């Protein structure tokens, strides 16, 4: 087949609903190379601190709605992203996403090996 479709809720969320939701859609879309996830964080929610050194995957985060903060741990730097802002992160950069606002934040996360 030349294409695949999916819905955000095809897979189960990998985080507890009280903090929002995170859906990994790579398998649902039968993607061979590109990871695609949707992350929604309630106020005071946060993603997992991680890097992608082992996978060699660079990531791009796109804020669909709300305001997110991406902490770049190794640099001791925080990047604030608002609606329609993006960030691309190298594989070896340790990062963590936070919602320190009063509203739910929704992001699209895309990753692929270099």
Each residue's pLDDT tens digit, 17-61: 888 999 999 999 999 999 999 999 999 999 999 999 999 999 999
The domain tally of the chain equals 1
**Phi and psi dihedrals of 64, rounded to 5?**
-80, -45
Residue at 5 is within a domain: no
Q: How far is CA 29 from CA 63, 88, 89, 107, in A?
A: 21, 22, 23, 18
Residue at 70 is within a domain: yes
Residue at 12 is within a domain: no
Max Cα-Cα span within the chain: 45
| Residue 1 in this model has a pLDDT that exceeds 80 | no
Each residue's pLDDT tens digit, 58-104: 999 999 999 999 999 999 999 999 999 999 999 999 999 999 999 99
CATH number at residue 61: 2.60.120.10
Domain containing 105 equals 17-113
């Amino acid at each position: 087949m030349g294409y695949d479709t999916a819905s955000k809720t095809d897979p189960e969320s990998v985080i507890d609903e009280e903090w929002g939701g995170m859906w990994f859609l790579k398998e649902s879309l039968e993607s061979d190379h590109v990871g695609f996830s949707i992350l929604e964080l309630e106020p005071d929610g946060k993603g997992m601190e991680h890097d992608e050194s082992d996978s060699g995957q660079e990531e791009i985060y796109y804020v669909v709605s709300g305001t997110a903060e991406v902490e770049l741990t190794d640099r001791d730097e925080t990047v604030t992203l608002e609606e329609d802002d993006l960030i691309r992160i190298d594989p070896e950069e340790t990062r963590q996403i936070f919602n320190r606002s009063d509203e739910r934040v929704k992001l699209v996360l895309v990753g692929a090996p270099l």
